[in-house]
Amino acid sequence: MSDVLKVLFLSPEAVPFAKTGGLADVAGALPEALKRLGADVRMALPFYRIMRERDSQTRPLLKDLKISLGTETLAANVLGTQTEGGVPVSLIEREDLYDRPNLYGTPEGDYYDNLERFTFFAHAALKTAEALSFKPDVIHCHDWQTGLVPALMKGPYGATPFFRGTPTVFTIHNIGYQGLFQAQKIALTGLSSQQFFHMEGLEYYGRISLLKAGIVYSDAVTTVSPTYAREIQTPEYGKGMDGILRHRRTSLRGILNGVDYQLWNPSRDTLIPANYSTQKMAGKPQCKEALIHEMALNESLEKKPLLGMISRLDSQKGLDLLVQILDDILALDVGLVLLGSGDDRIQRAIHKAAKSNRGRVGLKIGFDEPLAHRIMAGADIFLVPSRYEPCGLTQMYALKYGTVPVVRATGGLDDTILQFDPRTGKGNGFKFKPYEAAAFLEAVRGAAELFLDPKAWKKVMANGMKADFSWERSAQSYLELYESLTTRSV
């Protein structure tokens, strides 16, 4: 028997294949970090249209794999590819389910048959592992789209010799997305209604919840930061799932996401005007000067605090607070550069502020990856005033770029940012707790005032740049969790 731990990693999205949000970043980076630590990781994803259009390097693995979907038996083809780091990936192909313009729905709402789509994916991913004789020691599932798998492992698949006793880990990336479907569709899943559709099972106020299925039936539940793991056990943040999470609290762990320092590192970033590091900081002011020029801001801002924000423009991200105090923030004699899109009302309010403060506010509606890097490098202060934030990555990027974060003390923001204390020289940013515009303004004011003290500012920048939030640390925590669930040590 091999001593290598085998992990089947199931996610509805992963970079570089398909992405709608931070889940894809995690699912792209974590398997590679686990592989570097010696695990044998295999991934499975649906084969979406976006992958077909990119003509990714795939090869046929399995043809006409028979998959049960309720009373029907459907065929799937399975294509093989691998990540840049060499992790094998199985892509589940079925045109009528996955060959669509988007991953989960349209701007009008979710696809009507998402239960069918992700039930099919759950069964096909397990059948593929069996057909390829990859017998996992643990199955790691991500978000509601894979929540059926832990239930299947406690039901029909757990009874098979191939999967018997295989533990599952279920990771919640954002508890707001719960995979809710009509109760009468339970037969589609391949689960017995009597055994699984009840209050202690996957029933949620008379509907099926795939998120709840993952929480209830997995052997361990994780989420993406220690603070978020505590928050989701409360009515304020639990989105109705707090009771079941409190019930499972001994199996719940918060493991902070990591950062890909190959992509986000000012010493090697090819998307910024000048590279820099803690030893050679001359590139940082050059990046600021270039950003001010690019966004048509006043040159006088080169000597004043320049605030940056890269975000979805909605109230979850705290943009409603920003709109309330934008005039007060600008009265601090600062500039602001903002990149993002989202809520129409918020977009219009910020657009109006940008028009009436030409030279002080730079706004780009939409998403622009190279500009995101240039803002990260060129700004002095980075704003993340989220109402809630499971983990957050931008504040960790900002630290690496010497761009001092101002964040609300919630979720992963609270775990990664330590309030700077000028007396001790400890800390890497600024935090505020109440979700109130006045508290946010006070934190921004504190950062803007510290900027005027060059010695203290250099210290808080250096503290942030030295922080290590690499994926290796997170992967090691997951590896320890996997090993605790298996009957043998590695």
Whether pLDDT at 278 is above 60: yes
Residues 404 and 386 in one domain: yes
- With respect to residue 265, please indicate whether it lies within any of the assigned structural domains: no
Is the pLDDT score of 367 beyond 90? no
Q: Give domain status of residue 272, yes or no.
A: no
pLDDT of amino acid 2: 55
Cα maximum dimension of the chain: 71
Q: If pLDDT is split at 50, 70 and 90, which confidence band does 312 have?
A: confident
Residues 293-303 have a mean pLDDT of 96
Residue 122: inside a domain, yes or no?
yes
pLDDT tier at 254, thresholds 50, 70, 90? very high
Q: What is the pLDDT of residue 487?
A: 65
Q: DSSP string of 337-380?
A: EEEE-B-HHHHHHHHHHHHHTTTTEEEEES--HHHHHHHHHH-S
Task: Give domain status of residue 424, yes or no.
Answer: yes
CA–CA separation, 349 and 222 (whole Å): 38
3-state secondary structure at position 254? strand
Q: Does one domain contain both 222 and 366?
A: no
For residue 10 the two structure tokens come to: 């199931």
Looking at every residue in the chain, the average pLDDT score rounds to 95
CA distance linking residue 217 with residue 242, whole number of Å: 16
Give the dihedral of Cα atoms 426, 428, 433, 438; nearest 10 deg. 110
pLDDT tens sequence across 369-381: 899 999 999 999 9
Q: Does any domain span residue 267?
A: no
Task: Write out pLDDT tens, residues 422-450.
Answer: 999 999 999 999 999 999 999 999 999 99
Q: How many CB atoms lie within 10 A of CB 256?
A: 21
φ, ψ (nearest 5 deg) of residue 38:
105, 0
Per the model's pLDDT, the better-predicted residue between 367 and 10 turns out to be 10
Residues 164 and 215 in one domain: yes
pLDDT-based confidence at residue 260 (cuts at 50, 70, 90): confident
pLDDT over 70 percentage in the chain? 98
Q: What's the pTM?
A: 0.91
Structure confidence at residue 287 (pLDDT): 98
Q: Residues 176, 307: one domain?
A: no
Asked if residue 277 is part of any domain, the answer here is: no
In this structure, the answer to whether residues 329 and 235 fall within a common structural domain is no
Residues 159 and 298 in one domain: no
Prior bond to 16 cis, omega within 30? yes
Burial 20-30 (b: 16+ CB within 10 A, else e): eebbbbbbbbb
Q: Which residues of 349-384 are buried (b: 16+ CB within 10 A; e: fewer)?
A: bbeebbeebeebbbbbeeeeeebbbbbbbbbbbbbb
Same domain, 287 and 202: no
Looking at this protein, which amino acid is placed at residue 9?
F
Identify whether the C-beta of residue 383 lies closer than 8 Å to the C-beta of residue 444. yes
Same domain, 112 and 254: yes
DSSP state, 391?
S
Question: CA separation (Å) from 274 to 59, 280, 437?
Answer: 40, 11, 35
Q: Does the residue 481 lie in any domain?
A: yes
Q: Report pLDDT for 110.
A: 94
CB 42 within 8 A of CB 86: no
Q: Is the pLDDT of residue 213 over 80?
A: yes
Same domain for 479 and 456, yes or no, is: no
Q: Closest Cα partner for 221 from 255, 270, 268? A: 255
Mean predicted confidence (pLDDT) in 314-332: 93
User: Phi then psi for 174, rounded to 5 degrees?
Assistant: -155, 115
Looking at residue 85, which CATH number applies to its domain?
3.40.50.2000
The predicted structure's pLDDT at residue 1: 37
Q: How many CA atoms lie within 13 A of 447 on its CB side?
A: 30
Confidence of residue 343 (pLDDT cuts 50, 70, 90): confident
- Domain presence at residue 406: yes
pLDDT digits (tens, 9 = 90+) for 449-464: 999 999 999 999 999 9
User: How is residue 190 written in tokens?
Assistant: 């391949």
pLDDT at 188: 96
Distance CA 98, CA 72 (A): 18
* Residue-number span of the structural domain to which 71 is assigned: 6-258+472-485
Q: 166 and 254 share a domain? A: yes
CB 16: neighbour CB atoms within 10 A? 12
178-209: per-residue pLDDT in tens? 999 999 999 999 999 999 999 999 999 999 99
> Are residue 247 and residue 335 in the same domain, yes or no?
no
Q: Is the pLDDT of residue 488 over 90?
A: no
User: Same domain, yes or no, for 295 and 240?
Assistant: no
Give 35-64 pLDDT, tens digit per residue. Answer: 999 999 999 999 999 998 876 689 999 999
Total domains, the chain: 2
